[in-house]
Amino acid sequence: MARRPTVAKRPQTALPAEGGSTAERLASLHRSSGTLAHDFNNLLGVILSANERLAKELGEGTDQQKLALLSLEAAERGADLMRRLLAQTHDEPPELKAVDCAEVLQTLRRLARQAIAPDVRLAVNAAVTPLACAGDRTGLEMALLNLCLNAGQATPPGGLISVQACATRLSVAEARKLGLACGGYVAFAVRDSGEGMSADTLARATDPLFTTKATGTGLGLSSVLEFSASEGGALALESCEGRGTTATLYLPLAHLAATAAAA
C-alpha cells in the first residue's frame, strides 16, 4: 500500500467537540493562557534555582549531575516558552534569528531520549555541513520534541524513530503544494516505524483538540503547525497504516556565515 502524503493546513472551520465547539474551547484556552503563563513562569523560577543548586552540589560528571543539568536545560526551555507566550498576550511579534540546526538537534537528542520509552530506539542525525534556518530556536526545539513524542507513542518496543535535517530548494510545484514561496528551506524529518495512520486520521491529525488517545489533548501536531506558519514554514505529513509516519517541518534557510559577519 502506498504511503499517503498530506500537507498539514490550519483548519478553516471549527469541528464539534465534547463540552462545546472547538472554537469555543480554544477561545477559553486563550482567555486563561496569560494568567496561567504568568503563574507557571513563577514556578519555573523556583525549578531553575533548585536545579542550579542541585547541579552544583552533586559530584562533577556523575550520572546524577547529568540528570540535574538536563532538568535545568528543560526548565530553561520552558522559561523561554513562557516568555514567548507572555509576549503573544501583548501582541509582540516573534523575533526571528539564524538558528544552528546542529545545536538544535543536539538539544533534541538529550530531551527526546528522556521523554521516549527506553525500549524505542532514537537516531538523531545532524547535517554533514553547517546548516542554519531562520526562526525561534526554543520554538523549533519544542516543535521537534512534539513530533518525537507523537512518534514515540505510535512506535512499539524495538521500533525506531529517526530525525534528520537537510537543506532543500523547493520547486515551483513543491512550494505551491506546501503553500510556501520558492527558495531554500531546511527540512526536519521525523520518521517512525510505528502503526501509521488511516486516511481519516491523517486528514484530521492537525485539527485542534482532535486526538485518538484517551488522555491526549490533541494540541501536539496543531501547535507544530501553528509554529511552522508563524516562522514562514510548513508542516507535511506522510503515513500509511502498518508502515509508520513521516512528519517534515520546513523552515526558511539562513546562512551562518552571513549572520556572523553581520553581528
Whether residue 112 lies inside any domain: the answer is yes
Whether residue 36 lies inside any domain: the answer is no
Q: pLDDT tier at 43 (50, 70, 90 boundaries)?
A: low
The distance from CA 205 to its chain's CA centroid, rounded to whole angstroms, is 15
Is residue 216 within 8 A of residue 100, CB to CB? The reply is no
Q: What is the CATH number of the domain that holds 258?
A: 3.30.565.10
- pLDDT tens-digit series, residues 100-125: 999 999 989 988 888 889 999 999 98
Whether residue 221 lies inside any domain: the answer is yes
Is residue 240 within 8 A of residue 196, CB to CB? The reply is yes
Give the orientation angle of helix 63-89 with respect to helix 137-154, to 10 degrees. 120
Number of domains in the chain: 1
To the nearest whole percent, how much of the chain has pLDDT over 70?
A: 69
3-state SS assignment for residue 96? coil
Radius of gyration of the chain (CA): 19
User: Where do runs of H (alpha helix) occur along 90-198?
Assistant: 101-115, 137-154, 172-178
Whether residue 53 lies inside any domain: the answer is no
| Phi then psi dihedrals of residue 46, to 5 deg | -65, -45
Q: What pLDDT score was predicted for residue 260?
A: 39
> What's the pTM?
0.69
